[in-house]
Structures are given as structure tokens and as C-alpha cells.
Amino acid sequence: MERWSKRALDEVTYRIIGAAIEVHRETGPGLLENVYHRCMKQELSSRGLAFISEMSVRLDYKGLSFDADLRCDLLVEGCIAVELKAVDRLAPVHEAQLLTYMKLLRVPKGILINFTCANIFREGQRTFVNELFRALPDE
């Protein structure tokens, strides 16, 4: 992750949100989350972004490491966790889920995207950073 800067992560974030806007523009709201997930994978690929889909998240607890049956929807460029939702409104538990994935995956940034909205840019996405992001160089 040493190769990343805040600016570089912001540029990748912009590209991810652009992909979500394109998916939303083409499909509209009202579909199931797994449909949006498939469309996002296609859109990210077409934009040349590397990602892992439904990445298994391991939990380390007091020396015990195990698969906690947690799945991050998308890990983009190895540094941004993306959680996709298709819900009436985002709840605090959705934010907590993403923040936990960011911590367990040791990534500096996360994006929560809800496709059940009128406008992805204004109301359908939230971006989060943690202490790993704050420690990155600006450029």
C-alpha cells in the first residue's frame, strides 16, 4: 500500500463512483443487490480497475484466525472496500459493516453505495476513511 497517496485513492474513488453512476443510469433503482453487483463488476472491468469480488474476510481474535463468513462485495485496486446495497435507506449497521471490513482488510478507504435512490452522486454513496488513509502522503 506504500504506493498509494491520498490523491491516488481519491482518483480511484472518483472512478468507482462514476461506474456506480453509469450502472444506475442504465438500470435505474428497484433491482436486487446481486444484479447491481454483476453490473458493477462489468463496469469496473470496462474501466480497467482491478478488483476482487465477494472477498472472504478473515477475523483474527487473540491469536485465532478464522473465516468469519464475512464477504466484502468488492475490494478495488487492493485498497478500497466497496459495499453495495439496494435498500430504501442506508442504516448505521451498513456503515458499521463497511468500517469493519476496512479494519479487517487493512484498507484506508471504503465506499458504501445504495442503488435504491434517485441520484447516486448526491444521495446514493458515502465514502469513509480511517487512520490508514490519514497516514498516507497527500501526493
- Is residue 66 domain-resident? yes
- 25 in Cβ contact with 124 (< 8 Å): no
Domain that residue 103 falls in = 6-134
The model's pTM: 0.94
Say what percent of the chain tops pLDDT 90.
90
User: Considering the domain boundaries, does residue 44 fall inside one?
Assistant: yes
pLDDT of residue 7: 96
Kindly state whether residue 1 falls inside one of the protein's structural domains: no
- Residue 139 resides in a domain: no
Structurally, the chain folds into a number of domains equal to 1
What tens digit of pLDDT does each residue of 105-126 get?
999 999 999 999 999 999 999 9
Q: At what angle do helices 33-46 and 6-27 cross, to 10 degrees?
A: 120
User: At which residue does the C-alpha cell 504506493 appear?
Assistant: 3
Please spell the DSSP secondary structure of 74-131, one letter per residue: EEETTTEEEEEE-SSS--HHHHHHHHHHHHHHT-SEEEEEESSSS-HHHHSEEEEE-H
pLDDT tens, position by position, 72-109 = 999 999 999 999 999 999 999 999 999 999 999 999 99
Amino acid in the structure at residue 95: E
Q: Is residue 46 part of a domain?
A: yes
> What is the C-alpha to C-alpha distance for residues 13 and 32, in angstroms, rounded to an integer?
23
List, for residues 36-68, the tens digit of each pLDDT value.
999 999 999 999 999 999 998 889 899 999 988
Which DSSP state fits 61?
E
C-alpha grid cell, residue 74: 468488492
pLDDT given for residue 101 in this prediction: 95
